[in-house]
Structure 1
Amino acid sequence: MPSSTAANVLKAIDRTRYEVVPIAISREGRWLLQSSSGGDGAGAPVSEDGVEVALLPGGKGRLISASREGMRADLTPVDVVFPVLHGPFGEDGSVQGYAEVANVAYVGCGILASAAAMDKDVAKRLMREAGLAVARSVTVHRGDVGSFQEIAGALGLPFFAKPARQGSSFGVSKVNDRDGFEAAVETAFHYDGKVLVEEFVEGREIECSVLQ
Structure 2
Amino acid sequence: MEKIIILYGGTSGEHEISLRSAASVYNHLDTKKYAVSCIGIDIDGKWYFQDEIVFSADGESLLIKKEFPVAVYPSQGLFTGNMLIPADFIFPVLHGVSGEDGTVQGLLDMIHIPYAGSGILGSAAGMDKIVSKMLWQHQGLPTVPFTEIRSISDSRIKEASAEYGFPVFIKPARAGSSVGVKKAVNRNELMECIQHAFQFDTKLVIEPAITGREIECSVMGNREVESFPPGEIILEKGFYDYESKYLSGNNARTVVPASLSTDVKESVEDYAKKAFFTVGAQGFARVDFFIEESTGQILLNEIN
2:149–2:157 Cα contact (<8 Å) kept: no
Residue type of the partner of 2:105? Q
RMSD (Å), alpha carbons: 2.0
Taking the aligned partners of 1:189 and 1:40, their CA distance within structure 2 comes to 31
Aligned to 1:204: 213
Is the CA contact (8 Å cut-off) linking 2:23 and 2:62 kept in structure 1?
Answer: no
- Residue 88 of structure 1 aligns with which residue? 97
The farther-off stretch of 185-194 and 152-161 is 152-161
Counterpart mapping for 1:24-173 below 5 A: 24-37=40-53, 42-43=59-60, 46-59=63-76, 62-65=77-80, 72-146=81-155, 149-173=158-182
- Write out per-residue CA displacement over residues 60-97 of structure 1, whole angstroms, 9 at most, x where no aligned residue: xx3211xxxxxx31233201110001000111011111
Output the TM-score relative to the length of structure 2.
0.63
State the number of aligned residues: 204
TM-score (norm 1): 0.89
> By how many angstroms is 1:52 displaced?
0.8
Q: Which moved more, 1:25-34 or 1:110-119?
A: 25-34
Greater Cα offset, 78-87 or 21-30: 21-30
Matching residue's letter, 2:168: F
What SS does the corresponding residue of 1:139 show, helix, strand or coil?
Answer: strand
Q: Does 1:11 align with 2:11?
A: no
Q: Distance in 2 between matches of 1:33 and 1:110?
A: 23
For 2:79 and 2:95, the matched residues in 1 are separated by: 24
Gaps of 5+ in 1: 66-71
- Percentage identity across paired residues of the two chains: 37
The answer (yes or no) to whether the contact 1:85–1:91 under 8 Å persists in 2 is yes
In structure 1, the residue matched to 2:201 is 192
Cα deviation, residue 149, structure 1: 4.1
Deviations 1:136-158 (A, max 9, x none): 11100025422654221111211
How far 1:207 sits from its partner (Å)? 2.1
Q: Distance in 2 between matches of 1:147 and 1:119?
A: 19
- Aligned to 2:206, the other structure's residue is in SS state strand
Q: Which amino acid aligns with 1:159?
A: V
Structure with the bigger RCO (C-alpha within 8 Å, sep 6+) is 2
CA distance in 1, matches of 2:149, 2:61: 40
Moved more, 29-38 or 74-83: 29-38
